[in-house]
Chain A
Amino acid sequence: MGERVAIVGAGQTLHRSRRLDVSAPELIDEAVQAALTDAGMGPDGIDAIVVGNMEHFEGIHLSDLWAVEGTGGVGKPQLKIATGGTTGSSLSQAAYYLVASGAFRTVLAVGWERLSDSEGETTTGIVTAFDPIYERPTLAGAVSGLAIMACQYQSKYGTRPEDAAEVVIQARENALRNPHAHLRKPVTTAEVLASPMLSTPMRYLDMCPTSDGAAAVLFTSRPGDRSAAWVRGVSGAHNHVYLGDVAEGAASFLNTLTIAAERAYKQAGVTSPREQFDVVEMYEPCTWAALEWAESLGLCAKGQAARLWGEGTTRLDGDLPVNPSGGVLCTNPIGATGLVRVAEGSLQVRGRAGERQVDGARLALTTGFGGSFWSEVMILGRDA
């Protein structure tokens, strides 16, 4: 695996539906400065930068050009990475590889998005990510793609809408403890079930929001005496192009998450994820995805995720807290979203997660989701 790599700094903006008080570079700057402060490091300590967003949302396709005034990248190697929903987790993987290779000592990863710049057109941005010949003319946007997955899951296991609602109820409770989170208002089962039906079985409150925000994370091979979260496992798995290929065999829409997780678990020596992980920061774009993908990750048996949430295992004070930050269901600046998972996982194992800290967290699982159901996984530990 090359050089051992640690995260020594993590910073986030205040994520909101509209950050009209800042330009894109100012938004990025807010996260970068927070990461540097957290690490007790100046910008001179950064040797290279990876930065990314999902360009359609801001309508600028050389976004790394803009971003440089926030990243501090002038005169430094800086690469843009754009992999859709996984942009943030891809940034973390790229920063890890650049440091692990020995090519750079310290690399800054920055993910950002201003979804309010093209407000109301999020689905347009997502539809243009898909194949124009076969899928774009018949695609119904991000919600319906996830809804087709949820419908399959529900019909297979008989999972009730109330079970899915429990996921967002717990996420919103957690977000109350996270000052960075976008949606900080508790919801009840009745409110979730009464929210508008977007696409069967997905209701408005089952879906993540769209947010403006940025995240920055510092990866280094020389943490010195800084508080460190060590990268213990890294893997990604890409997928076929069309939803109809993804569903072939139809065991699960996100078998890439199982593939990526199994590789990362092996690297980290994880044989029973449910017992060994202290905290999970999962990329769950909707409640139904959290249920199905907890199973893909091996956190419980197939069809048992509703119990995992229903019995409170996933709560902040449960045996295996999932998304103490409130997760994607409460905060979703798309190009930053995957990196927020890594930032939050690193804060947990460094004991710096404030009011959302999981007591004694030593091993964290973080995931990213994007594209045609592809996946990335990063495992972070207090111990190298």
Chain B
Amino acid sequence: MDIPDVEPVAVEGRIRIPYRWPAGKAGGRFLAALRDESRLLGQRCPKCARVAVPPRPRCLSCGAVADEWVPVGPEGELVSWTVARGGPAPVAWGLVRLDGADTGVLHRLLDVAPEALKSGMRMRAVLDGRRTGQITDIAGFAPAGGATCNR
């Protein structure tokens, strides 16, 4: 069995579609608090007390509508990490469980040498100086101890 020779005719194309995605009721509250008050909010389930970040329509554990908001972070624990090396410079990514939250947030890791990364280490959120109401208002997470807002 082998691939036969065939005249290699192919058509080239490109699709560009702009989109706009609403963050919704819970997401709007979370992102507005981040943008306007530099606050990280968790969504606490009134039934099972699970605290979720980012917020969602219903509690993942029990399905109740979670409409209590509690402050989380800005520090937390690095659950796991990786350093991607496909681009011009290595970029570190990790899952950070903010203090007071049950879930982790996937984000960039800043101001840390790849060799220094360790699961379980303490991290803090670094907020972007320019706010747009998006998750990238958190610029990333850096080792705990420095300033929360430095960009």
Contact = CB atoms under 8 A, between A and B. Distances in A.
A225 interface: no
Nearest to A150: B82
A200 B83 contact: yes
Interface string B87-107: 000010111010000111111
Given A137-B134, A144-B84, A16 B3 contact: yes
Nearest to A153: B80
The DSSP consensus for interface residues of chain B is loop
Interface in A270-301: none
Given A138-B108, A240-B60, A152 B83 contact: no
Interface string B120-151: 00000000000000111000000000000000
B32 to A, nearest CB: 13
Given A59-B13, A241-B56, A250-B79, A14 B1 contact: yes
A14 B106 contact: no
A133 B135 contact: yes
Given A179-B1, A247-B104, A151 B60 contact: no
A197 B85 contact: yes
Contacts of B108: 138
Interface in A76-117: none
A243 B106 contact: yes
A133 B23 contact: yes
Given A19-B3, A247-B79, A138 B15 contact: no
A137 B135 contact: yes
Q: In the complex, which range does the number of interface residues on chain B fall in?
A: 35 or more
Nearest to B85: A197
Given A133-B27, A152-B80, A138 B107 contact: yes
Contacts, number: 117
B5 interface: yes
Interface residues of A, number: 42
B82 A147 contact: yes
Q: Which of A132, A135, A202, A243 has the most C-beta atoms of chain B within 10 angstroms of its own C-beta?
A: A243
Contacts of B116: none
B84 A20 contact: no
A44 interface: no
B47 to A, nearest CB: 17
A139 B135 CA distance: 12
A21 B7 CA distance: 7
Contact of A196 (B23, B85, B118): B85
B79 A138 contact: no
A242 B54 contact: yes
Interface in A3-25: 14, 16, 19-22
B18 interface: no
A149 B80 contact: yes
Given A59-B13, A243-B106, A132 B21 contact: yes
Nearest to A16: B3
Contact of A151 (B56, B82, B135): B82
Contact of A248 (B1, B10, B23, B104): B104
Given A140-B91, A247-B80, 7 more contacts: A133-B135, A134-B27, A144-B93, A148-B93, A199-B84, A201-B82, A243-B95
Interface of A: 14, 16, 19-22, 59, 132-135, 137-141, 143-144, 147-152, 155, 179, 196-202, 240-245, 247-248, 250
Interface of B: 1-6, 8, 10, 13, 15, 19, 21, 23, 27, 52-54, 56, 60, 79-86, 91, 93-95, 97, 102-108, 114, 118-119, 134-136
Give 6 closest A-B pairs by Cβ, nearest first: A244-B104, A147-B82, A21-B6, A152-B80, A199-B84, A200-B83
10 contacts: A59-B13, A59-B15, A133-B23, A134-B135, A148-B80, A151-B119, A241-B56, A244-B104, A245-B104, A247-B104
